[in-house]
Structure 1
Amino acid sequence: MARERLTVPSRGTLFYAQSGGVTAVINATASAVITAARARKLRVLAGRNGILGALREELIDTSHESAATIRALAHTPGGAFGSCRVKLKSLEDDRPKYERMLEVFRAHDVRWFLYNGGNDSADTALKVSRLAAEFGYPLTCIGVPKTVDNDLAVTDTCPGFGSAAKYTAVSVREAALDVIAMADTSTKVFVYEAMGRHAGWLAAAAGLAGRELDEAPHIILFPEREFDQAAFLAQVDATVARVGHCVVVASEGIRTADGRFVADAGGGKDAFGHTQLGGVAAWLAGRVKDALGHKVHWTLPDYLQRSARHLASATDLKQAQAVGKAAVEYALKGMNGTMPVIVRTSDAPYRWTVRPAPLEEIANHEKTMPDGFIREDGFGITDAARRYLEPLIRGEAPPPYGRDGLPKYVRLANRLVPQRLPPAGF
């Protein structure tokens, strides 16, 4: 690509892409982005399968979707345009891909790039903005927050987390009632595995299921605390002796003293360099059965945690829509290299607002659970954590249901615009 300053029409096109694992409300953000852009007469192209759409020039023309369909995205889970786990390396190591992206953007008059994802996506948006500046290409790059792990820096919470947290807390409370009913002659210990590689936010959310010491969950295992098998087994046995049963919630990312993931599934690493995890609940259940002799059941909700739109938090939905609308506003104001983040202004009553934050402060930073949110014995949450978490799961936002008893979700046509460049092979 020649390094000349490019002249583009003032009209321009907005490009939106989804990244990484989807959430129950990421499409609500997409709906807000498209609605806000349409109100300003802007064309919106979406990347098919996330950033791969920009590299492969597979761009979805959202103008083919009706206003009613775009509104219905707000109550539809999944990633409407497709997402992907693709992490671009540094500008030096992956320069051909970055330059290809700019070529595609130039070919389709893309002036605004909105990347809806987590830490790595914020980093990609930042790098693209820097390369565009190097080439003199007038492109405004905005990161849009999304992750069920709640590990994005700067923002008080992250759209997607509140709904996953609500699903977790409700599921643990309901499962605990099942265990109580069966504990006398059957299951004594139940283990629930929550997402969270390095940050225990979802595991912590399970703590909202009960308030008293003897209410489930009785034990929460956080990745922020070293896993001590002997201490864990002793706590389980003491709880069963005292309460008659024990409900355990374990983050998938708990580690042993040597730093090894307890749940390393042996599946290698993904595109982001993350170890493939899964199976910590089964592993813990096996240790409990072998060491203590209790009958154990376990569950691995996995994708259910992030796809359960039927149990979405109304707070989470509102925040997902708010950051989408703000992202368009920031883009049109030329606020390059920023992200709309959620700022909590009050706990009681719970109040929040959206403000811009520099991508430099967010990209590749990770927010873990504060020490003050984890109980001193390491097996539960504190009142401070409860004050933080509880407002995020408030309110119901159910989807409409059909006569068949199932939610009425939508699927988009996802028509691609004609390609204008030779294939790049990415």
Structure 2
Amino acid sequence: MAVKNAFYAQSGGPTAVINASACAVIETARAHPDKIGKVFAGRNGIVGALTEDLIDTSLESPADIARLRTTPGAAFGSCRYKLKSIEEHRAQYERLIEVCRAHDIGYFFYNGGNDSMDTAWKVSQLSEKMGHPLICVGVPKTVDNDLPLTDCCPGFGSVAKYVATSIREAGLDVASMARTSTKIFVLEVMGRHAGWITAACGLASGSGADSGQPPHILLFPEVPFDEAAFLARVQQCVDRYDYCTIAVSEGLKTADGKFVSEQGGKDAFGHSQLGGAGQWIAQLIKDKLGHKYHWALADYLQRAARHIASKTDADQAYALGKAAVELAVAGRNAVMPTVQRLADAPYRWEVGVAELKDVANVERKMPADFISADGFHITDKCRAYLAPLIEGEDYPPYRHGLPDYVSLKNIAVPRQLGEFKV
């Protein structure tokens, strides 16, 4: 294959380490000048490809690209935009191929989660049929940890470390005032259908649910909410410890399958917009048991907290970005590099490979044996799985007491085509 340029884009919610994958993609591509010319990044994800809004990463210095490794957010802009089926909107795919042809792009790297892997899969299948073959490789990323065929997803380990730390610290705060003030603290974390982030909060309780350490109760989307059992457990904790801390997934559902926090709207992917599960739980406790409460929404803080990123997570994010390019230059198409666990303690892992067709739109939920029999905490098996993923510190450089993050120039590639509306 002649030297071709590469397209790279970031999709969906950013993570603390998605830019580590970007760094790896660009650095590894630069190490293969015999195969890859320039790396063009899509400004705001796949939208940048459709609108021909491309960033020339060759104009960024090696030093600034290296600093991406410790910078949170999505350095080139991300998006929530899902390509429709070719039957619904052939013009999108024709435009995508037209842009790739105009800029001599032969490699397509898409860094995201379930929907992003679906996009990469579709592009890999249709590009050859549409007259411009592309080698498409997915780069996994999602704080939700719900991609199949990989032991874990880059982005999750750092969120896990953040929420476990936060609820441990908040628990100490509540415990110190519980006799005369707040007795209930609720932390709402991300997780629409899979409770991995909620489970990670459970690491803060040390030896387990019976240790008395916060969090005392975990509420997973995989476990239908039982109001009576929940309130009984809350009161039991207050009676025993004088306070109760709770971690709840945004995707908590009632027995009839409805989200307790559904707002009625939809996002760009057609998913229900969620928010307020933590407040709903806290108010329920106040109304039914009368306890004073505080609640917090981790929201963007949990996925942006590069200052407390897991070293394991940062290393894996870089390794999978590097592997994606190496797979592409070796001619592997429609694949995604994965993390394969070799051992828990000491933790060992290696890079594997999965087919995009087996990953696209498949969601991995918490296994039943990771959730305690009563549905309110994690098991030792879950703890053994999670513990290595938050190990190690990988602090960013600091300047004047604050993390010193890079801002790229993000200079646009001159457009060669007409306007395209998305």
Give the match for residue 139 of structure 2. 144
* Partner of residue 421, structure 2: 425
Instruction: Confirm whether residue 36 of structure 1 aligns to residue 28 of structure 2.
Output: yes
| 1:352 is aligned to 2:344 | no
**8 Å Cα contact 2:94-2:130 kept in structure 1:** no
Match status 1:401 vs 2:398: yes
Q: Specify every segment of 5 or more residues in structure 2 that has no aligned partner in the other structure, as ranges.
A: none
Q: Paired residue for 2:279?
A: 282
The one-letter amino acid of 1:125's match is A
Of 213-222 and 89-98, the range deviating more from structure 2:
89-98
Q: Which residue of 1 aligns with 2:53?
A: 58
1:171 equivalenced with 2:166 (yes/no)? yes
Q: Give the corresponding residue for 2:380.
A: 383
Q: Which amino acid aligns with 1:130?
A: Q
- Give the Cα separation in 1 of the matches to 2:130 and 2:93: 11
- Residue 228 of structure 2 aligns to a residue in which SS? helix
Q: In the aligned structure 2, how far is the partner of 1:88 from the partner of 1:270?
A: 14
Q: How does 1:212-361 map to 2 (within 5 A)?
A: 212=208, 213=210, 214-266=212-264, 268-361=265-358
SS of match in other structure, 2:403:
coil
Please state how far the C-alpha of 1:138 moved relative to its aligned partner: 2.4
Aligned-pair distance for 1:265? 2.3
Matched residues in 2 for 1:258 and 1:98: separation?
A: 39
1:45 counterpart residue number: 40
8 Å contact from structure 2 (residues 189, 249) kept in 1: yes
Identity between Structure 1 and Structure 2 (%)? 61
Aligned to 1:4: none
Q: Distance in 2 between matches of 1:241 and 1:425?
A: 60
Q: Given that residues 371 and 382 in structure 2 are in contact (C-alpha distance below 8 angstroms), is that contact kept between their aligned partners in structure 1?
A: yes
Deviates more, 1:414-423 or 1:206-215: 206-215
Q: Residues 170-189 of structure 1 correspond to what in structure 2 (within 5 A)?
A: 170-189=165-184
Aligned to 2:185: 190
Looking at structure 2, the residues matched to 301 and 162 of structure 1 have their Cα atoms a distance apart, in angstroms, of 15
Residue 392 of structure 1 deviates from its aligned partner by 0.1
In 2, the alpha carbon distance for the partners of 1:280 and 1:342 equals 32
Map of 1:70-89 to 2, 5 A cutoff? 70-89=65-84
Question: How many angstroms apart in 1 are the aligned matches of 2:88 and 2:325?
Answer: 30
Deviation at 1:39, TM superposition (A): 1.1
Query: How far, CA to CA, are the matches of 2:393 and 2:275 in structure 1?
Result: 30
Q: Distance in 2 between matches of 1:250 and 1:418?
A: 47
For 1:393 and 1:265, locate their aligned partners in 2 and report how far apart those are by CA, in whole Å: 32
Tell me how far apart the structure 2 counterparts of residues 50 and 313 of structure 1 sit (CA, whole Å). 25
Give the whole-Å Cα distance in 2 for the aligned partners of 1:136 and 1:105: 11
Looking at structure 2, the residues matched to 366 and 259 of structure 1 have their Cα atoms a distance apart, in angstroms, of 17
| Aligned partners of 2:15 and 2:155 also within 8 Å | yes
Which has the larger displacement, 201-210 or 348-357?
Answer: 348-357
Checking the alignment, whether the CA contact within 8 Å between 2:312 and 2:391 is kept in structure 1 is yes
Structure 1 portions without partners, runs of 5+: 1-8
Deviation at 1:94, TM superposition (A): 2.0
Q: In structure 2, what is the equivalent of residue 3 of structure 1? A: none
- Where does residue 162 of structure 1 map in the other structure? 157
Q: Distance in 2 between matches of 1:123 and 1:138?
A: 17
- Structure 2: distance between partners of 1:206 and 1:388: 13
Alpha-carbon shift at residue 216 of structure 1 (Å): 0.8
TM-score when normalising by structure 2: 0.97
Deviations 1:354-391 (A, max 9, x none): 11110011000000000000000000000000000000
Aligned-pair CA distance for 1:290: 1.0
SS in structure 1 at match of 2:299: coil
Q: SS of 2:398's equivalent? A: coil
Deviations 1:92-145 (A, max 9, x none): 112110110010001000000000000111011111111112124221000110
SS in 2 for 1:134: coil
Letter in 1 for 2:357: E
Could you say what secondary structure the match of 1:216 adopts?
A: coil
Letter of the 2:281 partner, please give it: L
1:282: how far off?
0.7
The number of residues matched between the two structures is 416
Question: TM-score, length-normalised on structure 1?
Answer: 0.97
Q: Which amino acid is the alignment partner of residue 65 of structure 1?
A: E
1:277 deviates by 0.5
- What letter corresponds to residue 416 of structure 1 in structure 2? A
**Contact 2:99/2:417 (<8 A) preserved:** yes
Residues 13-32 of structure 1, C-alpha deviations (whole Å, 9 max, x = no match): 01100000010000000001
Letter in 1 for 2:335: T
- Pairing 1:201–2:196 present: yes
Aligned residue among 108, 120, 144 for 1:125: 120
Q: Alignment RMSD, CA only?
A: 0.8
Partner of 2:15: 23
Q: Is the counterpart of residue 92 in structure 1 residue 92 in structure 2?
A: no
Offset from partner CA, 1:133-191 (integer Å, 9 cap, x none) = 21242210001100000000111000000000000100010000001101010010100
Find the counterpart in structure 2 of residue 371 from structure 1: 368
1:347: Cα distance to partner?
1.1
Where 2:337 maps in the other structure, the secondary structure is: strand
Following TM superposition, by how much is the alpha carbon of 1:61 offset from its aligned partner in structure 2, in angstroms? 0.1
Q: Give, in whole Å, the separation in 1 of the partners of 2:27 and 2:155.
A: 20
